[in-house]
Structure 1
Amino acid sequence: MSDIQDGKLANAYRVALANAKRAAIEQAVGTIIESRTLVENFQMVSDQVLTSASGRLKSFQVIKEGKTPDNIYEVTIQAEADVDELIQEVDRFQKALKWQKKPRITVVIDNYSLDKSSVTAEQVKNFLIDHLQDDKFPVFDLGEKTQFRGGFVIHLNVEKQTSEIEYQNMKLKSNELAINARLSRADDAKIMATASGVKKLPGGNTSRASRKASKAIVKDIWKTLRKRLTTAWEEEQYATRGIQLKIESLESMEQAKEILKAMQSTLAGVKKAELSIFDKELSEFSIEYRGWPEQLVDELNSGVFKTRHFESEVQRVAGNQIVIKII
């Protein structure tokens, strides 16, 4: 809208149209920021992005214009925002403000290590978890409710050996501990980094020697993994990946098409979406999404999406597969 000054309708139209374009950008930016950033930074990021967001509309069409009884000129447009550009803009400010959203980590010990030396293996796991938590990485046990979350898995293999040698009529014990660690993505198991260490300690107290060796090796391994983990998170947080979205109990093909249209028009990270299978019990949508599965879930649950389209309840998420039910 714009005030009509001195009866100059053409000037009022230009100002109202500019305001409408800005409002369209604000809607797009609001959707992106709500699903991808911390709430306390919302206004700051929104203001910064909007300052440089002019001209970020791919196209627009004036669908209504005219003078109101209150001497206001009103313009309504339908517009398509350049979401890719806006996402990049938001991401740049996210890094500039040093947002610290860190990936969820799960530490897993292989069964061989648990069978051979469960006590030492659990010690190694706990020492690594201590390092993760000291550096503010959220750590979760692997379970039905956590394995789907965007993040990484650290797999541990632990091998302990105790040998005995005779020296000048004395029997001496030597304790050797080897630890191998593998960092992989939670959603598709792609290996991102590896690290390993070996340490020998003399002494008859095997438990004390193992504990000391575990601490030393884990400290060195974490130095390697931490750097790669941070880099991988920055690289992977907004990578495009294929996600299969399944929706339970749809009423009709028309409803499925409306849902598809809603996702394409409103979800900021969706690059491409199509209906793969329509079935009233369980329909499937194939989505190319710029972000983690958890970010797609967050977008579906955002206030903007629920207000404009529908509210859903997550039934389960595993890897790159999400199942929801519309409520």
Structure 2
Amino acid sequence: MKKMIRYGIPLLAGFLFLFSGHAQTDETREVISSGVGSIIGGDVAHARDNAIEDALRRGIEQVLGTLVESETLVENFQLIEDNIMTRTRGYVQRYEVVNESRRSAELYEVAVRAVLKISDIQDDLEGIATLMRRKNTPRLMVMIEEKNIGETPGFHYVETEMNTAETALMNYFMAKGFRFIDRATVQRYLDQQKASAILQGDAALASALGKQVGAEMVLTGRAIAKATETEAFGARIRSQQATVQVRAIRTDTGDIIATSSGQGAHPHIDDVQGGVLAIQKACDKLAGPLMTQILNHWQADVSGGGTIVLNVQNVADYMQLNRFNNSLRYYVRGLQSVTQRSFSDGFAVLEVVMRGSADDLAQRLSGRDMEGIRIRVTGMTQNSVTVQLVPEN
């Protein structure tokens, strides 16, 4: 558990005592399992991470084996295995390493004690921390166009402090352990023209700005509040209502991976204050579903195979690029597909779907010789890897 706290998210530390009671209840099961990871290029730390993942999957198989008859397990093993690969994080509530050793020059072995729970991962703060650790704790940036009652949307966005919707979303996500780019950092790279375009829905510009400030995801959208009056029992009642719409954009690909909207209302004698409270209520309603979609997307990336952008430099010609693409399928373990997005002036952009992270891909490519081509890794982000092709003499 100490490792979980050290490598996890500090904001969750206060919640960890909730999980220090009995390890096994009607809703949980404690298992001890072992796994192995291959040591590539002398990287023991990377092999250890892979061994932990292998051990967790084996622990889940143990539990499934007690829930179904052995004949059913054998007959439907592939279906069960596929389910494990796509939902691993949803089953793991917490774990700790109880033993580890280097089995040989090429293998590292780890034994874990894990508490398994079949439930939605977003309901468990510690589970979220584990998932985010496996995603290298992505950082978010938020930009919401807000029009409260009597205000002009986005007109002075660059000069203003965070608005109500941005603050409400940040508070909700940060309480779950998410990290955000500081507003002052964002404003250093922002002018009014860029701000207006992003707030009007330019996903490409939003993702470009996010990459520039070091964010892996951008939350952007609109928040609008208005005042209404209704009559009840001979009296006029004034109320403020708000609608908030938010999108989550991956900065490496520009893909929109989640959308959510919410409405809120609050009666108040002051329109501005009532609008603020209505916007907060709308954000509270949409934040949960938005987070669920984001976590599901990340979980699919981690367990079932996610998309990694592979930037390839120094490509001699199309024939060499085609040879490199075909070699990837042979040399990169866990790779599911390779899609070529562009190729021009010696530079190609590929989308690789594989089980593992960008770091895994970089590890498997670095220094590799592929059909007479040496691969040199020159850059990496959370969801992308940049390599150069170096012809062998």
Identity of aligned residues (%): 10
Relative to the length of structure 1, the TM-score reads 0.54
Any gaps of 5 or more consecutive residues in structure 2?
A: 1-34, 62-80, 96-126, 187-205, 370-374
Structure 1 residue 203 and structure 2 residue 256: aligned?
no
- The equivalent residue for 1:268 is 333
Paired positions, count: 255
Partner Cα distance (1:240, 1:161) in 2: 44
Structure 1 residues 10-67: Cα deviation after superposition (integer angstroms, max 9, x where no partner): xxxxxxxxxxxxxxx967x557xx8xx98874544456679999xxxxxxxxxxxxxx
Query: What SS does the aligned partner of 2:208 have?
Result: coil
Cα deviation for residue 159 of structure 1 reads: 1.2
Query: What SS does the aligned partner of 1:216 have?
Result: helix
- The equivalent residue for 1:215 is 280
Structure 1 residue 133 and structure 2 residue 174: aligned?
yes
Q: Which has the higher contact order (CA 8 A, sep 6+)?
A: 1
Residue type at the aligned position of 1:282: G
Cα deviation for residue 221 of structure 1 reads: 2.6
Any gaps of 5 or more consecutive residues in structure 1?
A: 1-24, 54-84
Structure 1 residues 186-223: Cα deviation after superposition (integer angstroms, max 9, x where no partner): 2464464423112133223x443333333333223323
With over 3 angstroms needed to count, the CA separation of the structure-2 counterparts of 1:139 and 1:160, relative to structure 1, is same
**Root-mean-square deviation (CA), in Å?**
5.2
- The equivalent residue for 1:306 is 366
With over 3 angstroms needed to count, the CA separation of the structure-2 counterparts of 1:234 and 1:26, relative to structure 1, is closer
1:29-178 counterparts in 2 under 5 A? 41-46=49-54, 92=88, 96=92, 97=95, 98=127, 99-101=130-132, 104-110=139-145, 115-116=152-153, 122-140=163-181, 142=206, 144=208, 146-147=210-211, 153-162=218-227, 174=238, 176-178=240-242
Query: What SS does the aligned partner of 1:133 have?
Result: helix
Residue type at the aligned position of 2:366: K
Partner Cα distance (1:306, 1:46) in 2: 23
Partner Cα distance (1:161, 1:286) in 2: 46
Cα deviation for residue 123 of structure 1 reads: 1.7
Structure 1 residues 291-324: Cα deviation after superposition (integer angstroms, max 9, x where no partner): 69xx34x23432x53243433223899xx98754
Cα deviation for residue 250 of structure 1 reads: 3.3
With over 3 angstroms needed to count, the CA separation of the structure-2 counterparts of 1:158 and 1:306, relative to structure 1, is same
- The equivalent residue for 1:194 is 260
Residue type at the aligned position of 2:265: K
Partner Cα distance (2:303, 2:54) in 1: 19
Partner Cα distance (1:105, 1:254) in 2: 39
Relative to the length of structure 2, the TM-score reads 0.47
Structure 1 range deviating more: 126-135 or 140-149: 140-149
1:284-299 counterparts in 2 under 5 A? 284=348, 286-290=350-354, 295-296=357-358, 298-299=359-360
Cα deviation for residue 144 of structure 1 reads: 3.5
Residue type at the aligned position of 1:225: L
Partner Cα distance (2:219, 2:314) in 1: 37
Residue type at the aligned position of 1:212: L
1:215-294 counterparts in 2 under 5 A? 215-238=280-303, 245-251=310-316, 256=321, 259-260=324-325, 263-273=328-338, 281-284=345-348, 286-290=350-354
Residue type at the aligned position of 1:203: I
Query: What SS does the aligned partner of 1:268 have?
Result: coil
Look at both structures and tell me which one has the larger radius of gyration over its CA atoms: 1
